[in-house]
Amino acid sequence: MIKRLLIANRGEIAVRIIRTCKEMGIETVAVYSTADREGLHVRLADKAVCIGPPPSAQSYLLGNNLIMAAIHTDCDAVHPGVGFLAENAGFARLVRDTGLGFIGPDPRLLELLGDKVQARTTAQRFGLPITPGTPTAVEDAAHAQEAVGALGFPVIIKAAAGGGGKGMRVVQAEQELPEQMAIAQAEAASNFGDPRVFIERYLENPRHVELQILAAGEVAVLGERDCSVQKNHQKLIEESPSPGVREAMRNRMAQGAVRLFQGLDYRGAGTIEFLVDREEFYFMEVNARLQVEHPVSECITGTDIVREQILACTEGRMDIDPQAVRLQGWAMECRINALSPGRVTELQVPGGPGVRFDTCLYPGCMVPPYYDALVGKLIVHAPNREQVLARMDRALAELHIRGIPTNQGEQGRILNESRFRSGSFGTAYYAERETRLLKETNHVR
């Protein structure tokens, strides 16, 4: 068992990891930029090291600074959290070459799965269906037009070296292709340092469904999560199980996931993501790390995913039995995002049965303008979806954050819309909702 762990991240996810480490008897070292010196993760960790000024490129993305902080504080391993360098193969390799443990898969797998083109090819090799698309990266508009000729419109351009909605552009017609290609390449270069993109046939309104995986020799599947409610490809609400996946499809997805992760000899936590179009599903990508929405799967399985991830990556074992995983009830998560920076003046956290609020906020804390807008995750668990909806509605009403504006009100409105409550929606739901609300507003005027 490792004795001291450096958490190479910030905010809510760093707080989440610290809490599990305390229960495991592992000391923690937080890192922070000067903008995060008041951060809750800094307060909760056993030690904290400043790694640079506010911009991520000068702090949280400087791998050498993170490793020096780990060495200086006598850490045994590094946990990358989510985002930043969590899926950076170069950073993982540097961590291991320094003699530290890395809480994540082998760097060679980060390279393989981080390249979305290679990942698609690998998934095919293990019998997983993929959407029609280019077998290699597309270099320029001429190459793109040639590829689209075989696929037909609409298509989606995606960054080959990243995800999270960055470097993604939907193209409905040929005349849009050159401009959207240039924008996607620029976004890919800016966000991932790699301008390569590839093209897939665009599914108009699929469900976005992902399976939570834990692996250490054997592979455990902790059910699926539905992440179809998205704004600009950024997830807003996640739930498990998916209201749009039948048992037969659930089993086929799980079998494919086990084949892939066992075939790759994967270690740690990961997620395999699919697009579901009526009765078919298609491999999209693997996130070779912890996911923001992992608490949803923790609720329905009673598993501490961070604990199992640490055990798998440091001791090559897990406490859970992959054959004994049982899904209990329904869980849902609403992401609470800050709409602008500022100082929190008041915080009232909801409670009661089946309610959990993972956050980095506290009264008096400063939310800086430099990083991801996520400041909290409201998670509820109940026996069925109807009760989860009622519980989430109640918990959202109890949550009070003063001093900064958040999307809490919008989350409550979505929760009470008939379309969402029906469970019959796909990834186009949010955009269609925005269009409808705009028309209603214009009609009133």
Cβ atoms within 10 Å of 437's Cβ, excluding its own:
11
pLDDT above 90 (res 445): no
> β-strands 77-79, 101-102: how paired?
parallel
What's the count of helices (H) and strands (E) in the chain, helices before strands? 15, 20
pLDDT (0 to 100) of residue 86: 95
State both tokens at 285: 């990508």
pLDDT above 90 (res 47): yes
State both tokens at 329: 């009830």
pTM for this entry = 0.94
Q: Which CATH number fits domain 4-103: 3.40.50.970, 1.10.3720.10, 3.40.50.20, 3.30.499.10?
A: 3.40.50.20
d(CA 287, CA 180): 25
Structure confidence by residue, pLDDT tens digits, 129-179? 999 999 899 988 888 888 888 889 999 999 998 776 778 999 999 899 999
Structure confidence by residue, pLDDT tens digits, 232-248? 889 999 999 999 999 99
pLDDT above 80 (res 444): no
Of residues 325, 49, 359, the one with CA closest to residue 212: 325
Q: Which residues of 190-328 form beta strands (DSSP E)?
A: 197-201, 207-216, 218-231, 234-240, 267-277, 280-287
Of residues 25, 28, 32, 4, the one with CA closest to residue 16: 28
Residue 33 per-residue DSSP state: E
High-pLDDT (> 70) share of the chain, %: 99
Catalytic option among 289, 335, 356, 433: 289
3-state secondary structure of 96: helix
d(CA 220, CA 321): 8
d(CA 78, CA 67): 8
3-state secondary structure of 265: coil
pLDDT (0 to 100) of residue 320: 96
Cis-peptide, bond into residue 350, ω within 30° of zero? no
pLDDT (0 to 100) of residue 147: 83
d(CA 375, CA 390): 23
With cut-offs at 50, 70 and 90, classify the pLDDT of residue 289: very high
Contacts 24+ apart (CB under 8 A), 175-181: 177/141, 177/144, 177/145, 177/148, 178/141, 178/144, 181/138, 181/140, 181/141, 181/144, 181/157
pLDDT (0 to 100) of residue 404: 98
Residue 155 per-residue DSSP state: E
Structure confidence by residue, pLDDT tens digits, 382-432? 999 999 999 999 999 999 999 999 999 999 999 999 999 999 999 999 999
Could you state, in order of their start, the residue ranges of all structural domains in the chain?
A: 4-103, 132-201, 207-436
Lowest mean pLDDT among 3-17, 85-99, 142-156: 142-156
The CA–CA distances, whole Å, from 371 to 33, 55, 115, 192, 297 equal: 11, 8, 24, 16, 26
Structure confidence by residue, pLDDT tens digits, 348-385? 999 999 999 999 999 999 999 999 999 999 999 999 99
State both tokens at 122: 């690998």
d(CA 312, CA 309): 5
Q: Which CATH number fits domain 132-201: 1.10.10.10, 3.40.50.11540, 3.30.1490.20, 3.20.20.70?
A: 3.30.1490.20
The answer to whether the CB of 84 falls within 8 A of the CB of 55 is no
CATH class of 207-436: alpha beta
CA angle 80, 291, 385 (to 5 degrees): 155
Three-state SS annotation for 109-137? HHHHHHCHHHHHHHHHHCCCCECCECCCC
With cut-offs at 50, 70 and 90, classify the pLDDT of residue 274: very high
Half-sphere exposure of residue 232, counting CA atoms within 13 Å on the CB side?
2
Q: Judge whether 93 counts as a catalytic residue.
A: no
Structure confidence by residue, pLDDT tens digits, 332-350? 999 999 999 999 999 999 9
Cβ atoms within 10 Å of 424's Cβ, excluding its own:
12
DSSP 347-416: EE---STTEEEEES--TT-EE-SSS-SEEEEEEEEESSHHHHHHHHHHHHHH-EEESS-BSHHHHHHHHT
